[in-house]
Chains A and B, each alone.
Chain A
């Protein structure tokens, strides 16, 4: 099973709202990733977690706050977002010893 699940599929939020995106995998992967993808562009890496600890932050604004509460779950907390943050947010996971990443279906975020 190579499934990564993400909820919700779609999210619309105002600039003053607080919301969270959720990602889950049960493949035993200890590396998890958040990507942002704008229309007609490739994904851009935001964060990498290994062993539930943040290992890479690609200079993402603090209005995005990741959290990895356990080895299967990855959250992305959103607060005071801007309209330009509207995008598809993708989660991925991999084993620590391999560079093959498996992606979830994404959350389509719209910030009004």
Chain B
């Protein structure tokens, strides 16, 4: 069965410092993995998607994630946090390709302090 675990419910960083949001997954198949961001009272915005083409995936707004099969991890990073990065981040795994149900992690709230 597919599942995803976000290892931190809250992460707090200072503006200009690196961001690391951790995600581990479990999948019987070669998974599709996503990171979505949700700003307060907004919908979900796709940050990036892994589909096995490359293990390092670059997304929008300077975010990137590295797929590590041996560690079953898909951690999200950004070299330098900006105040506008403060939001809820969801790591998501797809059950299979094509339209279908997504499995969401519990979310990580990122706070950015000046």
Which residues of A line the B interface, CB within 8 A? 2, 4, 6, 30-31, 40-43, 45, 48, 50, 56, 88, 90, 92, 94-106, 108
B97 touches A90 (CB 8 A): no
Known A42-B105, A42-B107: A103·B44 in contact at CB below 8 Å: yes
Q: In this assembly, does B5 line the interface, its C-beta being within 8 Å of a C-beta of chain A?
A: no
B99 touches A95 (CB 8 A): yes
Which residues of B line the A interface, CB within 8 A? 32, 34, 36, 41-46, 49, 90, 94, 96-102, 104-107
Neighbouring B residues of A97 by C-beta, 8 Å: 97-99
A43 touches B44 (CB 8 A): yes
A100 touches B98 (CB 8 A): no
Neighbouring B residues of A104 by C-beta, 8 Å: 43
Known A42-B90, A42-B105, A42-B107: A99·B44 in contact at CB below 8 Å: no
Q: Closest Cβ of chain A: how far from B8's Cβ, in Å? A: 14
A-B contact pairs, 29 of them (CB 8 A): A31-B99, A40-B107, A41-B106, A42-B104, A42-B106, A43-B44, A45-B101, A50-B99, A90-B43, A96-B98, A96-B99, A97-B98, A98-B97, A98-B98, A98-B99, A99-B32, A99-B99, A100-B32, A100-B34, A101-B102, A102-B46, A103-B36, A103-B43, A103-B44, A103-B45, A104-B43, A106-B41, A106-B42, A106-B43
Closest to A105 in B: B43
Closest to B107 in A: A42
CA distance A105 to B41 in the complex (A): 8
Q: Closest Cβ of chain A: how far from B31's Cβ, in Å? A: 10
CA distance A90 to B42 in the complex (A): 9
CA distance A43 to B107 in the complex (A): 10
Known: A97-B98, A99-B94, A106-B43. 5 other contacts (CB 8 A): A42-B105, A92-B44, A99-B96, A103-B44, A105-B42
